[in-house]
């Protein structure tokens, strides 16, 4: 996590932690350290949030840096801002850790250019499921306030939030820590040299030891690790074999919403939406007559399995796929579980470190034993070319 | 009389090594089973994970990727990348509880006709033991 020498600057929070974040951003804009910020703001109808790129101080009053729900994954907002290359102006983005982690993955994929972005995160207590929030914004705000106080996601939160281990400090430029602190204060922790420079320019001195805060975070983390293990066990049980896979995705309507909501699926044309994936009627009728019948639209299982193979190495378990599913398939639970396994294969954790190259962009000459030795010793007998 | 089970093994063979090796097995009149359905690819790294998944879900009892030995790739590093991609699909299959033994990656060079025949025979035997792919009969896909 952090090194022992790391310290944080203390900011008072008038009512809730978000207030301190807003004060920080006001200071950054007033002192012209940042040209603009990206923050969530309530939509006019009041039942959701949208990302707003702003530099108007009066607009900041209406922004909610730590929003109860996550309508659009923040990495998508950063992508639409910088996909054509880095801008010249400095922008501070305050987002959930999973959003910043997705942005780090998109950076590696050439979709986000972070050169003049300052990525800030906060202790995330979890995000309320989008559908629940839209149905009852007021009730969900209360739920979220409770979650912020306890640091524990309740039933209104996304299931993947309950098993998230990366809800606090990692590789961002600035981190706002508040979970587990008793007083109304927020720690501003620089996570990179860029972050330290920013604090210096704002006249904030990181002088507070992080020990107390870290202890609180570790405790919360322990709970989530436990929940994660049992959730994975349950998912694994549901998925056993081809029949299990079929039953989990049985009611998929093939809308591909999970893919459009996914921050990692950036391809302009997904293979599964392309003409190549389309089959002509005769081929389908042949398949149908061999099996007795075939469900249409075809290839729903292939879509999900293919997506697991294509994007799970960069999956940050943000849960947007589940929020987007109109038929309540636990997409995120399955993807999170599979991603954990595939990332483990390459000792990679998506979004945790911007210095780690994507597993598919590199290789070692000797690795992955067992992957190509299924036939008894067939490979071992051959003179080695390695 | 019950028809004997002949597996279908969709095989993606690299043009420079394994496909040529298969050719050599043929010209040397080595016997290997009809279960191997060869598809020539320019490099084992041409095989996208979706190729494997599609072959599996379409009812192939086994899927084989054949490439050059590590260090011998015609494009220098293609097979190393192929191995990583293959490992992802393996890992996805294992986590989903699908039979990952139905997927195989093997390095067979252009001069290894006998090895090709042996791998084809042994892999077919293994697939015979596994039996028919359960996806073959599924109407919900």
CB nearest A385 (choices: B71, B81, B89): B71
Helices A74-82, A97-108: axis angle to 10 degrees equals 40
**DSSP conformation class of A192:** S
Weakest mean pLDDT among A24-33, A51-60, A256-265, A374-383: A374-383
B116 touches chain A (CB under 8 A): no
Can you give the length of chain B in residues? Answer: 141
Q: How far apart are the first and last CA of chain A?
A: 38
3-state secondary structure at position A279: coil
**Does residue A374 have a pLDDT over 50?**
no
Handedness of CA B108, B112, B113, B114 (dihedral sign): negative
- Candidates A369, A308, A328; CA nearest to A130 is A328
Subunit contact A313:B88, Cβ cutoff 8 A: yes
Ordered DSSP codes for A91-114:
EEEEE-HHHHHHHHHHHHTTS---
Query: Distance between CA A9 and CA A18 in Å, rounded?
Result: 16
Instruction: Look at strands B9-14 and A208-209 and give their pairing.
Output: unpaired
Torsion-angle region of residue A22: left (phi > 0), alpha (psi -120 to 50) or beta? alpha
Q: What is the pLDDT of residues A98-146, one digit of tens each?
A: 999 999 999 999 999 999 999 999 999 999 999 999 999 999 999 999 9
| Burial grade of A359 (CB within 10 A; 0-12, 13-18, 19 or more) | buried
* Whole-number Å distance between alpha carbons of A166 and A298: 37
**CA-wise closest residue to B68 among A345, A379, A346, A361:** A379
Interface test mutation site (partner A, options B63, B80, B95, B106, max chain A beta carbons within 10 A): B95
| Cβ-defined contact of A385 to B98 (cutoff 8 Å) | no
The per-residue pLDDT for A372 is 60
Cis link prior to A297 (omega < 30° from 0)? yes
Going through chain A in order, the beta strands assigned E by DSSP cover 7-12, 36-42, 49-54, 91-95, 117-122, 174-177, 185-190, 208-209
CA dihedral A343, A348, A353, A358 (to 10 degrees): -90
Identify the CA nearest to A370 among candidates B104, B43, B114, B70.
Answer: B104
**pLDDT tops 70 at residue A381:** no
The pLDDT of residue A370 is 74
Q: What are phi and psi of A377, to 5 degrees?
A: 50, 10
- Closest in A291, A372, A374 to B137, CB measured: A291
Chain CA centroid to CA A78, Å: 13
Q: Between vectors from CA A240 to CA A236 and to CA A244, what angle results, nearest 5°?
A: 110
Asked if pLDDT for residue A375 goes beyond 70, the answer is: no
**CA proximity to A156, closest of A134, A185, A183:** A134
Mean pLDDT of A40-61: 92
pLDDT of residue A344: 92
Reported residue count of chain A is 386
- What does the pLDDT look like over A352-368, one tens digit per residue? 888 889 999 888 888 88
**Mean of pLDDT over chain B:** 93
Q: How close, in Å, is residue A191 to chain B by CA atoms?
A: 32
Tell me the pLDDT band of A5, cut-offs 50, 70 and 90. low
Give the pLDDT confidence score for residue B4 in this predicted structure: 80
Round the CA-based radius of gyration of chain A to a whole number and report it. Answer: 23
pLDDT of A31 above 70: yes
pLDDT at A263 over 50: yes
Residues linked to residue A209 through DSSP beta bridges, in sequence order: A7
Q: What's the rounded Cα separation, in Å, for the pair A174 and A195?
A: 5
What integer pLDDT is reported at residue A140 of this predicted model? 93
Chain B residue with minimal CA distance to A232? B95
Question: Would you list the domain boundaries of chain B?
Answer: 9-137
Distance, in angstroms, between B101 CA and closest chain A CA? 7
Residues 333-352 of A with CB under 8 A from B: 337-338, 341-342, 344-346
List pLDDT tens digits, range B35-45.
999 999 999 99
Q: Which of A272, A306, A315, A380 to mutate to test the interface with B (most CBs of B within 10 A)?
A: A306
Residue B114: list chain A partners with CB under 8 A: none
**What is the model's pLDDT at position B2?**
61
pLDDT digits (tens, 9 = 90+) for B108-136: 999 999 999 999 999 999 999 999 999 98
Q: Where do the domains of chain A lie?
A: 7-230, 242-361
| CB atoms closer than 10 angstroms to residue A32 | 9
In angstroms, the CA A267 to CA B50 distance is: 15
- Put simply, whether A309 touches B (Cβ < 8 Å) is yes
Query: Across the interface, do A295 and B59 touch by the CB < 8 Å criterion?
Result: no
How far from B121 is each of A46, A380, B39, B82, B111, CA to CA, in Å? 66, 17, 18, 23, 18
**For residues A259 and A80, what is the distance between their CA atoms, to the nearest angstrom?**
17
Confidence of residue A180 (pLDDT cuts 50, 70, 90): confident
A308 at interface of B, judged by CB pairs closer than 8 A? yes
Average pLDDT over residues A233-260: 93
Domain B9-137 has CATH 3.40.50: yes
CA-based R_g, chain B, Å: 15
- Name which of A244, A374, A383 to mutate to probe chain B: the one with the most chain B Cβ atoms within 10 A of its Cβ: A374
Interface mutation vs chain A, best among B14, B48, B50, B82, most A CBs within 10 Å: B50
Q: How do residues A279-323 score in pLDDT, each as one tens digit?
A: 899 999 999 999 999 998 888 999 999 999 999 999 999 999 999
Identify all chain A residues contacting B120, using CB atoms and an 8 Å cutoff.
none
Q: What is the pLDDT of residue B8?
A: 95
**Mean pLDDT over residues B51-66, rounded?**
95
Query: Is the predicted pLDDT of residue A371 greater than 90, yes or no?
Result: no
Q: Of A254, A225, A248, whose CA–CA distance to A330 is shortest?
A: A248
Record: contact B58-A337, CB cut-off 8 A? no
Contact between A242 and B49 using a beta-carbon 8 Å cutoff? no
């Amino acid at each position: 996590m952090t090194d022992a020498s790391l310290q944080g600057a203390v900011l008072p929070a008038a009512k809730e932690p978000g207030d301190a974040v807003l004060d920080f951003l006001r200071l950054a804009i007033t002192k012209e350290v940042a040209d603009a910020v990206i923050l969530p703001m309530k939509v006019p109808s009041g039942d959701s949030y949208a990302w707003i790129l702003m530099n108007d101080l009066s607009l900041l009053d209406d922004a909610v840096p730590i929003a109860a729900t996550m309508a659009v994954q923040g990495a998508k907002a950063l992508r639409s801002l910088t996909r054509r290359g880095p801008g010249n102006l400095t922008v501070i983005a305050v987002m959930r850790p999973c959003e910043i982690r997705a942005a780090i993955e998109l950076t590696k994929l050439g979709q986000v250019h972070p050169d003049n972005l300052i990525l800030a995160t906060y202790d995330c207590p979890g995000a309320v499921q989008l559908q629940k929030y839209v149905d009852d914004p007021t009730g969900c705000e209360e739920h979220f306030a409770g979650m912020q106080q306890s640091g524990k996601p309740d039933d209104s939160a996304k299931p993947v939030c309950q098993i998230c281990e990366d809800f606090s400090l990692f590789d961002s430029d600035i981190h706002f820590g508040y979970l587990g602190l008793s007083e109304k204060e927020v720690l501003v922790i620089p996570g990179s040299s860029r972050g330290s420079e920013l604090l210096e320019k704002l006249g904030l001195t990181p002088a507070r030891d992080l020990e107390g805060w870290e202890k609180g975070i570790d405790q919360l983390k322990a709970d989530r690790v436990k929940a994660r293990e049992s959730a994975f066990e349950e998912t694994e049980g549901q998925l056993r074999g081809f029949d299990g896979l079929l039953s989990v995705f049985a009611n998929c309507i093939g809308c591909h919403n999970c893919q459009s909501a996914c921050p990692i699926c950036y391809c302009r044309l997904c293979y599964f939406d392309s003409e190549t994936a389309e089959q002509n009627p005769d081929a389908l009728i042949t398949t149908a007559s061999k099996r007795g019948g075939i469900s249409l639209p075809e290839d729903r299982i292939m879509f999900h399995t293919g997506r697991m193979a294509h994007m799970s190495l960069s999956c940050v378990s943000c849960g947007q796929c589940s929020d987007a599913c109109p038929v309540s398939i636990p997409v995120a639970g399955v993807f999170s579980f599979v991603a954990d396994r595939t990332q483990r294969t390459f000792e990679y954790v998506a979004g945790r470190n911007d210095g780690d190259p994507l597993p598919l962009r590199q290789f070692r000459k000797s690795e992955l034993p067992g992957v190509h030795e299924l036939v008894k010793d067939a490979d071992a007998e051959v003179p080695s070319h390695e | 009389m019950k028809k004997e089970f002949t597996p279908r093994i969709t095989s993606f063979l690299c043009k420079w090594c394994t496909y040529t090796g298969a050719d050599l097995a043929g010209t040397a009149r080595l016997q290997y089973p009809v279960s191997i359905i060869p598809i020539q690819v320019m490099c084992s790294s041409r095989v996208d994970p979706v190729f494997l998944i599609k072959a599996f879900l379409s009812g192939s009892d086994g899927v084989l990727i054949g490439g050059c030995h590590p260090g011998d790739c015609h494009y220098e590093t293609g097979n190393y990348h192929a191995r990583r991609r293959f490992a992802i699909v393996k890992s996805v299959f294992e986590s989903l509880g699908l039979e990952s033994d139905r997927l195989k990656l093997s390095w067979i060079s252009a001069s290894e006709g006998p090895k090709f025949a042996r791998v084809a025979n042994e892999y077919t035997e293994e697939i015979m033991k596994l039996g028919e792919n359960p996806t073959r009969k599924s109407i919900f896909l």
